[in-house]
């Protein structure tokens, strides 16, 4: 089992976990380390680290540009593993990779997840890995203590139930169809979908354990954090943080801290 459960300990609707995302290596690997530690200092309960890839099909323009900047700076999978190893000397907060299947496949599933265990990676999100084809990756990841985190879009109840039954770590609930990016308004009926997820999670076996549900895609304002935080176990913010890096480059540290702190506080306004 990974360390991901600690991110959600004592958390839930009204006081959700805050999950922040950065593209590793944007604008440099050393700066990514600095920014991640600053997010944690501001209250992030879990951090997703994007492994830059040339064709990130689930990403909107902001994160696409970040991938290009990171690759142009010479960022490699090897350097991202080194980043995690350095972070592990300074923090025990759960760290999760977000990457596409191609880099994992070319590294070799067994080698990749063995390296994850050595470095201290707790989980992995692979947006272009079809649910029906997860078994091979999960079989390589699970023995190494790495959770393969499933994504679920606003879809049918039967589909959600099947995804929840096999999920580990936490469920990444996509707030809106489409690619990542800042959205002015999220119109999906999230309370209804989260209720569906909770019902499906209650059907899991004791061995499968509990499954927190975190909502991502498009969350960027304190108002959205406060509203979604009423229903979700966690909120995920990516493009808005990456946009701060794009605007301020190597000087983004303070701006990231202030933003994450404000979002964390807003999300917890409903706590009892």
pLDDT tens-place string over residues 94-113? 999 999 999 999 999 999 99
Whether residue 186 is predicted with pLDDT greater than 70 in this model: the reply is no
Residue 183 included in any domain: no
> Would you state the pLDDT for residue 131?
87
Residue 168's SS3 state is: coil
> Would you state the pLDDT for residue 188?
63
How many whole angstroms from its chain centre is CA 226?
19
Q: In which order are the strands placed within the sheet that holds 213-216?
A: 147-149, 123-125, 95-98, 46-50, 17-23, 234-237, 213-216, 171-174, 151-152
Residue 172's SS3 state is: strand
The answer to whether 11 touches 17, Cβ cutoff 8 Å, is yes
Residue 98 included in any domain: yes
Q: Range of 33's domain?
A: 17-148+218-267
pLDDT band with cut points at 50, 70 and 90 for residue 132: confident
Residue 211 included in any domain: no
Instruction: Tell me which of 80-94, 165-179, 222-236, 251-265 is least confident.
Output: 165-179
Residue whose tokens read 């040339």:
54
Q: What are the φ and ψ backbone dihedral angles of 76, each rounded to 5 degrees?
A: -130, 165
Residue 187 included in any domain: no
Residue whose tokens read 């979700």:
232
Residue 204 included in any domain: no
Structure tokens at 124: 């992995």
Residue 203 included in any domain: no
Residue 84 included in any domain: yes
pTM of the entire predicted model: 0.92
Structure tokens at 89: 């000397």
Give the CATH number for residue 99. Answer: 3.20.20.70
* Total domains in the fold of the chain: 1
pLDDT band with cut points at 50, 70 and 90 for residue 54: confident
Residue 136 included in any domain: yes
CA distance 272 to 270: 6
pLDDT band with cut points at 50, 70 and 90 for residue 59: confident
């Amino acid at each position: 089992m990974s360390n991901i459960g600690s991110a959600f300990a004592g958390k839930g609707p009204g006081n959700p976990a805050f999950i922040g995302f950065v593209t590793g290596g944007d604008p440099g690997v050393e700066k990514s380390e600095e920014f991640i530690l600053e997010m944690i200092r501001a209250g992030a309960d879990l951090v997703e680290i994007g492994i830059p890839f040339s064709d990130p099909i689930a990403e909107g323009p902001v994160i696409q540009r970040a991938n290009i900047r990171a690759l142009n700076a010479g960022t490699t999978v090897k350097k991202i593993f080194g980043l995690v190893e350095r972070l592990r000397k300074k923090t025990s907060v759960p760290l999760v990779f977000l990457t596409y299947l191609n880099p994992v496949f070319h590294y070799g599933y067994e080698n990749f997840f063995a390296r994850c265990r050595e470095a201290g990676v707790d989980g992995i999100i692979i947006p272009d890995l079809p649910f029906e084809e997860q078994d091979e990756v999960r079989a390589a990841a699970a023995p190494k203590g790495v959770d393969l985190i499933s994504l679920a879009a606003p879809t049918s109840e039967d589909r959600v139930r099947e995804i929840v039954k096999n999920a580990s770590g936490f469920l990444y609930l996509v707030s809106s169809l489409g690619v990542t990016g800042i959205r002015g308004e999220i119109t999906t009926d999230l309370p209804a979908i989260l209720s569906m997820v909770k019902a499906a999670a209650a059907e899991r076996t004791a061995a499968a354990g509990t499954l927190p549900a975190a909502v991502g895609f498009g969350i960027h304002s304190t108002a959205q954090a406060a509203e979604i935080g009423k229903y979700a176990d966690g909120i995920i913010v990516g493009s808005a943080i990456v946009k701060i890096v794009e605007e301020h480059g190597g000087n983004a540290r303070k701006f990231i801290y202030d933003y994450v702190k404000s979002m964390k506080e807003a999300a917890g306004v409903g706590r009892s």
